């Protein structure tokens, strides 16, 4: 419908429209089905078809053009990588929640040491039970295990003469 305007839209404007409207609606609450060991073939295929149609619409190319090529020219990243990026950002966002948030109570005890943990938390499950769980909570827990505390490079311990090697040379 937008192509039938008198002047039409520029490819850049079509790309912005697709990213801001179509992708945000299509990927709303995707974390309900995008997690580790979930069967993703059906939704990923649907999203790939949607993105291919959008790339064809953005560039106005033939329908027989190769998908990866037109997505690259249109400036769209592959949909699976886009989902992975959004999932990683969401999992890192969980680390900024308060310690008494319900999601922190479902994770392992070391991520919320001050709050009491829930009876269905990952802390109470055996390794065998954890191996069979298919959930985004397990993904969040695994992602938080990979986060390392940062250090202050301007700390006094890093000054010359105060380092471990300087104090204990032998």
Digitized pLDDT (tens) for each residue of the chain, 170 residues in all? 555 555 778 889 899 999 999 999 999 988 888 877 677 889 999 999 999 999 999 998 898 889 889 999 999 999 999 998 888 888 778 777 777 787 777 777 776 666 676 777 777 788 788 777 777 777 777 777 666 555 566 777 777 777 667 777 77
Assign 3-class secondary structure to 65-89.
CCHHHHHHHHCCCCHHHHHHHHHHH
Q: How many residues does the chain have?
A: 170
Torsion over CA: 98, 100, 106, 110 (sign): positive
Task: Please give the Cα distance from 82 to 94 (Å, whole number).
Answer: 19
What pTM was computed for the model?
A: 0.67
């Amino acid at each position: 419908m937008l192509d039938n305007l008198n002047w039409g839209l520029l490819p850049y404007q079509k790309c912005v429209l697709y990213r801001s409207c179509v992708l945000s609606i299509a990927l709303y609450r995707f974390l309900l089905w995008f997690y580790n060991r979930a069967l993703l073939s059906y939704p990923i295929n649907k999203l790939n078809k949607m993105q291919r149609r959008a790339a064809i619409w953005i560039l106005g190319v033939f329908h027989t053009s190769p998908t990866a090529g037109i997505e690259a020219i249109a400036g769209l990243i592959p949909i699976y990588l886009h989902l992975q990026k959004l999932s990683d950002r969401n999992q890192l966002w969980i680390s900024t929640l308060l310690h008494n948030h319900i999601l922190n109570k479902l994770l392992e005890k070391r991520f919320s040491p001050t709050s009491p943990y829930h009876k269905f938390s990952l802390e109470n499950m055996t390794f065998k039970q954890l191996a069979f769980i298919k959930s985004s909570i397990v993904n969040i827990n695994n992602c938080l295990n990979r986060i390392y505390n940062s250090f202050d490079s301007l700390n006094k311990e890093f000054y010359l003469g105060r380092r471990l090697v300087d104090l204990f040379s032998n």
